[in-house]
C-alpha cells in the first residue's frame, strides 16, 4: 500500500534565502514520499524589493499561501510590527495547510514569526543553517532562538553542529550536510559573459566588482556612515565596473538604497539592481574580479568560485571563512587597502588553492533523503541535552 506523502511546508521571505532553499524545494516536489507546501512572505511580496514572488513562480513552484507582513518602514518599531503581522498570517496559513513539518532557513525576523507560529501550533520544525554566528546582527539571537524552537537541524559544518549541541539540542537530531548555496553553483547553467552583459544591460570593464552591503542591525546609526566610507573608496577606482545589489529590508535599509542610487547616478561605470536573482548573481560572481560588502554569500558561496571577498565590518564576524576572504574595518583606509589586496597579483595567484569550509555541494539531496526516511513520531517532545563536563 502506497504511503501518504508527508506534507513539508517551506516558508521563504527573501531572495537570498529562496536561492538557498530552491533545490531542497525541488527535491521535495519531485519526491514520491513528500508533498511540498509553500508559504511566501516578506520582501518576495514587495514591489520595492523586486516582487521576487514572480521568480519563484517562474521556477515552476505553486504558492499555497502568501503572508503579507512587510510594512513601509525600516525603523525598529516598524519591523517589530511586521513580526506581529507575520505571526497572525502564519497562524492562519499553518492552520489551513496542516503540514507535517515546517522547513525554514536562517535567521531573519520573518522566519522567526513562522517558527513561533508553528511552535504554538505543535508543528515540528526543521531548521537549516543553524549554529552559525553573525555578531553584528539581531539575526544572531534570532537564529539561536529558532534553533531552540526547532526539532530537526541541518547544519553546514562540524563547528556549527557543536554549537547547536551546546544550545541543548540532541546530537541525533542534528545533521551536518554542508552549505546549501553551493548546490546552486553546481545545478544552474550559468550565463556566458555576453549573455550576462545583455541581461544586465551593462558592459563589463577591464576590472569588475560585485557589491552587496546590508545594514548592521546591532549598531545604531552606523549603516549610512559605513556605506559612505565604502562608496568613497569605490570612487577612487579606475577602469572598474561596479555592480551593486540592493540591501535587505532591515533597519535603516532605505538609507543605503538612496546612497547607492545617488552614487550610480554620478558614476557611469556603476549600476544597481534591486534583485539580480540567483542565476544572474552567481553569473556575476563568475566574471567579476571579486565581491565586496558584508553579505553571507561572500563567505559561503564565493570561495567555491575561487574568487576573493572583501568582507567589511562585523556583520559576518563569527562565521567560518576560507583564506580567500579579506576582512577589513568599515572605514575608507581599511576598505581601500583590502580592495588593493584583492587586486594584487600575489593574492590572485593564491586563490587557486582555495578550499571552501562549507563543502562541495549535495546538501539539498541529503536533506530531502533525511526527510523521506526519518521517524517523525514524538519529535515534537524535546528534552534539553546536557553537556557533561
Q: How far apart are CA 65 and CA 46, in angstroms?
A: 15
Alpha-carbon distance 388 to 190, whole Å?
A: 48
Is a pLDDT exceeding 60 seen at residue 330?
yes
User: Which uninterrupted H or E stretch holds 149?
Assistant: helix 139-149
pTM: 0.86
CA distance 70 to 61: 22
* pLDDT digit string, tens, across residues 35-49: 999 999 998 998 877
- Nearest in space to 121 (alpha carbons), one of 142, 147, 90, 143: 90
Q: Which residue has the higher pLDDT, 139 or 70?
A: 70
**Would you say 170 and 383 are in contact if contact means Cβ atoms under 8 Å apart?**
yes
> What is the pLDDT at residue 252?
66
Residue 106 confidence class, pLDDT cut points 50, 70, 90: confident
Tens of pLDDT, residue by residue over 252-288, are 677 888 999 999 999 999 999 988 888 999 999 999 9
Nearest in space to 157 (alpha carbons), one of 356, 366, 379, 376 = 356
Cα separation, 80 vs 33, whole angstroms: 38
H, E, C per residue of 237-263: CCCEEEEEECCCCCCCHHHHHHHHHHH
Distance, in Å, from the CA atom of 104 to the CA atom of 90, rounded to the nearest integer, reads: 13
H or E stretch at 331: none
Q: Which three cell numbers stand for residue 345?
A: 597579483
* DSSP assignment letter at 359: -
Biggest CA pair distance of the chain = 68
- d(Cα 309, Cα 342) in Å, to the nearest integer? 8
SS3 of residue 261 by DSSP? helix
Q: State the Cα–Cα distance between residues 75 and 230, nearest whole angstrom.
A: 23
Instruction: Calculate Rg over the CA atoms of the chain.
Output: 21
pLDDT, tens digit (0-9, with 9 covering 90-100), for 194-204: 999 999 999 99
The answer to whether 191 touches 199, Cβ cutoff 8 Å, is yes
Decide: 156 and 178 in contact? Cβ < 8 Å. Answer: yes
Rounded Cα distance between 52 and 116, Å, is 24
Residues 215, 221, 224, 225, CA torsion sign:
negative
- Residue 342 C-alpha cell reads as 584583492
- Three-class SS state of 218: coil
- What CA–CA distance (Å, rounded) separates 268 from 284? 18
Instruction: Kindly report the backbone phi and psi dihedral angles of residue 283, in degrees, each rounded to the nearest multiple of 5, phi listed first.
Output: -65, -35
Residues 12 and 279: their CA atoms lie apart, in Å, by 18
Q: 86, 113 in Cβ contact below 8 A?
A: yes
Q: Which has more confidence, 381 or 336?
A: 336
CA dihedral 81, 150, 376, 3 (to 10 degrees): 50
3-state SS class at 85 = helix
Instruction: Extract the runs of DSSP E, i.e. beta strands, from 119-223.
Output: 125-128, 152-155, 174-176, 207-212
Q: Are 269 and 241 in contact (CB under 8 A)?
A: yes
What mean pLDDT comes out for the span 96-103? 98
pLDDT, tens only, 5-19:
999 999 999 888 998
How confident is the model over 148-171, as pLDDT tens digits? 999 999 999 999 999 999 999 999
Question: What's the mean pLDDT when you consider all of the chain?
Answer: 92
Amino acid at each position: 500500500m502506497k504511503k501518504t506523502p508527508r506534507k513539508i511546508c517551506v516558508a521563504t521571505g527573501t531572495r537570498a534565502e529562496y536561492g538557498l532553499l530552491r533545490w531542497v524545494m525541488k527535491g521535495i516536489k519531485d519526491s514520491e514520499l513528500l508533498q511540498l507546501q509553500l508559504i511566501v512572505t516578506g520582501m518576495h511580496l514587495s514591489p520595492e524589493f523586486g516582487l521576487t514572488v514572480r521568480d519563484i513562480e517562474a521556477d515552476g513552484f505553486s504558492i499555497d499561501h502568501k503572508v503579507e507582513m512587510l510594512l513601509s518602514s525600516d525603523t525598529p518599531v516598524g519591523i517589530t510590527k511586521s513580526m506581529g503581522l507575520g505571526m497572525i498570517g502564519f497562524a492562519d496559513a499553518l492552520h489551513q495547510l496542516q503540514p507535517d513539518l515546517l522547513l525554514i532557513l536562517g535567521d531573519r525576523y520573518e522566519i522567526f514569526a513562522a517558527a513561533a507560529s508553528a511552535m504554538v501550533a505543535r508543528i515540528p520544525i526543521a531548521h537549516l543553517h543553524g549554529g552559525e554566528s553573525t555578531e553584528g546582527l539581531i539575526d544572531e539571537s534570532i537564529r539561536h532562538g529558532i534553533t531552540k524552537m526547532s526539532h530537526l537541524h541541518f547544519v553546514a559544518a562540524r563547528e556549527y553542529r557543536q554549537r547547536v549541541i551546546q544550545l541543548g539540542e540532541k546530537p541525533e537530531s542534528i545533521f551536518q550536510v554542508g552549505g546549501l548555496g553551493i548546490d546552486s553553483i553546481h545545478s544552474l547553467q550559468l550565463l556566458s559573459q555576453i549573455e550576462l552583459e545583455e541581461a544586465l544591460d551593462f558592459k563589463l570593464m577591464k576590472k569588475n566588482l560585485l557589491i552587496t552591503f546590508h545594514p548592521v542591525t546591532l549598531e545604531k546609526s552606523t549603516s549610512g556612515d559605513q556605506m559612505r566610507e565604502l562608496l568613497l573608496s569605490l570612487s577612487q577606482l579606475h577602469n572598474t565596473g561596479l555592480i551593486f545589489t540592493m540591501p535587505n529590508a532591515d533597519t535603516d535599509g532605505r538609507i543605503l538604497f538612496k546612497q547607492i542610487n545617488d552614487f550610480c547616478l554620478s558614476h557611469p561605470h556603476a549600476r544597481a539592481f534591486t534583485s539580480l536573482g540567483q542565476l544572474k548573481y552567481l553569473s556575476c560572481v563568475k566574471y567579476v574580479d571579486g565581491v565586496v560588502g558584508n553579505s553571507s554569500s561572500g563567505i559561503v558561496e564565493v570561495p567555491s568560485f575561487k574568487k576573493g571577498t572583501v568582507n567589511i565590518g562585523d556583520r559576518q564576524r563569527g562565521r567560518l571563512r576560507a583564506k580567500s576572504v579579506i576582512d577589513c574595518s568599515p572605514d575608507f583606509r581599511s576598505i581601500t587597502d583590502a580592495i588593493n589586496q584583492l587586486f594584487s597579483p600575489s593574492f590572485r595567484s593564491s586563490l587557486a588553492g582555495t578550499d571552501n569550509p562549507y563543502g562541495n555541494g549535495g546538501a539539498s539531496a541529503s536533506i530531502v533523503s533525511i526527510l523521506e526516511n526519518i521517524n517523525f513520531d514524538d519529535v515534537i517532545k524535546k528534552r534539553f541535552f546536557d553537556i557533561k563536563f
